[in-house]
Chains A and B, each alone.
Chain A
Amino acid sequence: MSSVSFRKLEKNYGALRIVKGIDLEIADREFVVLVGPSGCGKSTTLRMLAGLESISGGEIRIGERVVNKLPPRERDIAMVFQDYALYPHKTVYENMAFSLKVRGIPSAEIKPRITQAAEMLGITQLLERKPSQLSGGQRQRVAMGRAIVRRPQVFLFDEPLSNLDAKLRGQVRTEIKRLHQAIGTTIIYVTHDQVEAMTLADRIVILKGGEIEQVGTPDEVYNSPASVFVGGFIGSPAMNFAKGTIRNGQVMFEDGAGIPLPSRSAGKTGDHDGREVVVGIRPEHFVPAGEGHALSGRVQVVEPLGSDTLIHFALGSSTLTARVAPEMRPSPGENLSIGVDPSRIHLFDAATERAIA
């Protein structure tokens, strides 16, 4: 087990800059999730760490060793691929045994290791089958088993759940978390699914266009998003955004309604007066009209979900979504009065889109 660190890590394809200087320290035993939209360089970063892609600039360390020039087999990492990459002509047992055999581990030692890993993953009865005789979920488990038996310094996962259906995805997600709790090895996990990121990670790294947008615990990135991008990316349904201006300790929306500034930034009102901002409000942070600060808008669409109801309503030129108690069922076209807790709104600079402290 080992720590991992990236220092000014870069990847270019010719003139194309894909990864633009990533600095990140990952502690031993930490579960770090790299998340971001398609094409932001998640896989590229992971593959540079694995040694499957050359490094254009900067440095990668695993433990104390700089691994920039080491081939994959000398980095002591194991990787679970998106398409699993199981060897189709080998049985499950042979797939799991391959890396051990290659490393010259005696077969007397290989067998108990595989048995143990297979038990942990519940694939004992599949050991004699070929990958083509397995379901997607079973293949996924075998791919994990192949990684586990190695007992590497670091596990790398590249979107390991994206080929599974929604239900299985939830199930395997829980298993991966349990696995990490059981073996404690450092894990770096790539996904574009913020739910996976939130549920699995000790720390989330949000990437955008080859740069780190924010690093933090799931609570930190949820409660204090560093930018409009992070606010919109983390959380479901997504955060609402509306344009506003700060005046006299209030955020004024385009249509003239206003909310008092959150108390944490109230002290600096003077600095902000007249500043154009983007206001972020999470759907789940709307409250019944009597509580908090009231806003009013026109109801457009109502989506009952059983556990709660989503109301889409117009406020000035923006459409906002509120998640409210299931009893609340306004009709489309109705005027809606709904409360906002001023302490839970997020303010971002309109020009830079960065959070205003």
Chain B
Amino acid sequence: MATASETTLVTTHNESGTKWWTRFLDPSERTLGVLLLMPAALLLTLIIVYPVCRLIWTSFQNLSLTSGVPATFAGLENYSLMLEDPVFWETTWNTVLITLITVPGALLVGLALALMANLPFNVKWPVRLSLLIPWALPLSFAGLIFAWFFHSEYGVVNDVLRRIGIEGVIWFNSANWAFAAICLTIIWKTSSFMALIILAGLQTIPRSLYEAADVDGAGRLRQFFEITLPLLKPAIVVALIFRTITALQTFDIPFTMTRGGPGTSTATLAMYIHQNTVDFLDLGYGSALAVVMFALSMGVTAVYLRMIRAKG
């Protein structure tokens, strides 16, 4: 982008008969703008554009550090391998499932939390603080805490179940229960972030709209569906974008809770990428997997952006 507009600048200046370097002596507003954007653009190129290009390039190579063989061009080999790799399909499916369960889950819980935090409490800070704590907690902490919560013998969950007369399960021995425990943990951890964004949105809705609706005769439920929810849409879409993208990259919580087990039943795509690149040092295949995840994220973002634009 930056380079494109710069090229245009050069041509216009040449057309008007000025030497290129005079731009620096007599910076017009546009030139100055480009110059001021330069450092940021350069930095972005360095830390985002370059690594992404490098990643895509590596994904077309045979590059395994354990083989001792120098990198060779492999074409689409990594990708065709992927199509036949059952672990790839399983981890991708797990990732999509986690996204489909935890994003709407966190949205609903977050919405409820935000509505509660927006109630006219006399003292607001304890409510807001308790919203912030799960958000501020590192992901792997949350994973460790909940791994203990769901521990079959010493865990809080089974203890509570036992007290009310239900025999608990050995959560992490069963693929389904382990998956459920992971999803619950992710929802707990991420709904406060949703709540914070939605709370900010709630506070931009003028009080007088609710007063007008009171006078117009609408009850609380009607006000929620006819005023609150439609006016929260922009905030909700933003929250969904952020949440969905981080959900597609889910790593820390299943990694600390189950290491992907039993078997690979709770492993995510991000964990599989980690395993291939860090444990197996197969950079070519790992990169190809990462490209798939990148494409998934971009696709989701594009859909949401279209949603926003349709609204505007």
Of residues 166 to 186 in A, which have CB atoms within 8 Å of B's CB atoms? none
A102 and B222: CB pair below 8 A? yes
Of residues 59 to 87 in A, which have CB atoms within 8 Å of B's CB atoms? 71-73, 77-79, 81, 83, 85-87
Known: A98-B226, A102-B222. A87 touches B214 (CB 8 A): no
Compute how far the CA of A83 lies from the CA of B210 in the bound complex, rounded to whole angstroms: 13
Compute how far the CA of A219 lies from the CA of B230 in the bound complex, rounded to whole angstroms: 49
Compute how far the CA of A73 lies from the CA of B218 in the bound complex, rounded to whole angstroms: 7
Of residues 20 to 53 in A, which have CB atoms within 8 Å of B's CB atoms? 50-52
Of residues 198 to 241 in B, which have CB atoms within 8 Å of A's CB atoms? 206, 208-209, 211-219, 222, 226-227, 230-231
Compute how far the CA of A77 lies from the CA of B216 in the bound complex, rounded to whole angstroms: 9
B231 and A102: CB pair below 8 A? no
Compute how far the CA of A79 lies from the CA of B211 in the bound complex, rounded to whole angstroms: 9
Is A330 an interface residue, CB under 8 A from the partner? no
A73 and B215: CB pair below 8 A? yes
Of residues 160 to 207 in B, which have CB atoms within 8 Å of A's CB atoms? 206
A314 to chain B, nearest CB (A): 48
Compute how far the CA of A195 lies from the CA of B209 in the bound complex, rounded to whole angstroms: 29
Q: Please, which residues of chain B bring their CB within 8 A of the CB of A150?
A: 216
Is A264 an interface residue, CB under 8 A from the partner? no
B25 to chain A, nearest CB (A): 46
B208 and A83: CB pair below 8 A? yes
| Contact string against A for B residues 251-295, beta-carbon threshold 8 Å, 1 for contact and 0 otherwise | 000000000000000000000000000000000000000000000
A179 to chain B, nearest CB (A): 18
Overall SS of chain B's interface: helix
Compute how far the CA of A83 lies from the CA of B205 in the bound complex, rounded to whole angstroms: 13
Interface hub of B211, B215, B216, B230 (most chain A Cβ within 10 A): B215
A103 and B217: CB pair below 8 A? yes
Of residues 95 to 154 in A, which have CB atoms within 8 Å of B's CB atoms? 98-99, 102-103, 146, 150
- Give the residue of B208, B222, B227 whose beta carbon is less than 8 angstroms from that of A81: B208
B214 and A72: CB pair below 8 A? yes
A101 to chain B, nearest CB (A): 9
Q: Please, which residues of chain B bring their CB within 8 A of the CB of A326?
A: none
A185 to chain B, nearest CB (A): 15
A99 and B211: CB pair below 8 A? no
A77 and B218: CB pair below 8 A? no
B231 to chain A, nearest CB (A): 6
B208 and A102: CB pair below 8 A? no
A73 and B208: CB pair below 8 A? no
For the complex, count residues of B whose C-beta is within 8 A of A: 17
Q: Please, which residues of chain B bring their CB within 8 A of the CB of A77?
A: 215
A73 and B214: CB pair below 8 A? yes
Compute how far the CA of A141 lies from the CA of B206 in the bound complex, rounded to whole angstroms: 20
Q: Please, which residues of chain B bring their CB within 8 A of the CB of A71?
A: 214
Which residue of chain B is the closest to A158 with respect to CB atoms?
A: B208
B208 and A99: CB pair below 8 A? no
Interface hub of B212, B222, B230 (most chain A Cβ within 10 A): B212
B218 and A98: CB pair below 8 A? yes
- Give the residue of B208, B213, B214 whose beta carbon is less than 8 angstroms from that of A51: B214
Of residues 336 to 355 in A, which have CB atoms within 8 Å of B's CB atoms? none
Q: Please, which residues of chain A bring their CB within 8 A of the CB of B208?
A: 81, 83, 85
B207 to chain A, nearest CB (A): 9
A85 and B217: CB pair below 8 A? no
A98 and B206: CB pair below 8 A? no
Q: Please, which residues of chain B bring their CB within 8 A of the CB of A86?
A: 212
Compute how far the CA of A15 lies from the CA of B218 in the bound complex, rounded to whole angstroms: 33
Is A88 an interface residue, CB under 8 A from the partner? yes
B218 and A89: CB pair below 8 A? no
| Contact string against A for B residues 126-154, beta-carbon threshold 8 Å, 1 for contact and 0 otherwise | 00000000000000000000000000000
Q: Please, which residues of chain B bring their CB within 8 A of the CB of A52?
A: 211, 214-215
A73 and B216: CB pair below 8 A? yes
Compute how far the CA of A52 lies from the CA of B215 in the bound complex, rounded to whole angstroms: 8
- Give the residue of A83, A88, A89, A99 whose beta carbon is less than 8 angstroms from that of B216: A99
Known: A89-B230, A89-B231, A102-B222. A81 touches B216 (CB 8 A): no
A85 and B226: CB pair below 8 A? no
Compute how far the CA of A85 lies from the CA of B231 in the bound complex, rounded to whole angstroms: 14
Which residue of chain A is the closest to B214 with respect to CB atoms?
A: A72
B214 and A99: CB pair below 8 A? no
Compute how far the CA of A341 lies from the CA of B215 in the bound complex, rounded to whole angstroms: 51
Known: A98-B226, A102-B222. A85 touches B214 (CB 8 A): no
Q: Please, which residues of chain B bring their CB within 8 A of the CB of A85?
A: 206, 208-209, 211-212
Extra inter-chain contacts (14) besides given A77-B215, A87-B212, CB under 8 Å: A51-B215, A52-B215, A72-B211, A72-B214, A85-B208, A85-B209, A85-B211, A87-B213, A87-B226, A89-B230, A99-B217, A99-B218, A102-B218, A146-B216
A–B pairs, 16, beta carbons within 8 Å: A50-B215, A51-B214, A51-B215, A52-B214, A71-B214, A73-B215, A73-B219, A83-B206, A85-B206, A85-B211, A87-B209, A98-B218, A99-B217, A99-B218, A102-B217, A102-B222
Closest 7 CB pairs of A and B: A99-B216, A73-B217, A85-B212, A85-B208, A72-B214, A89-B230, A102-B217
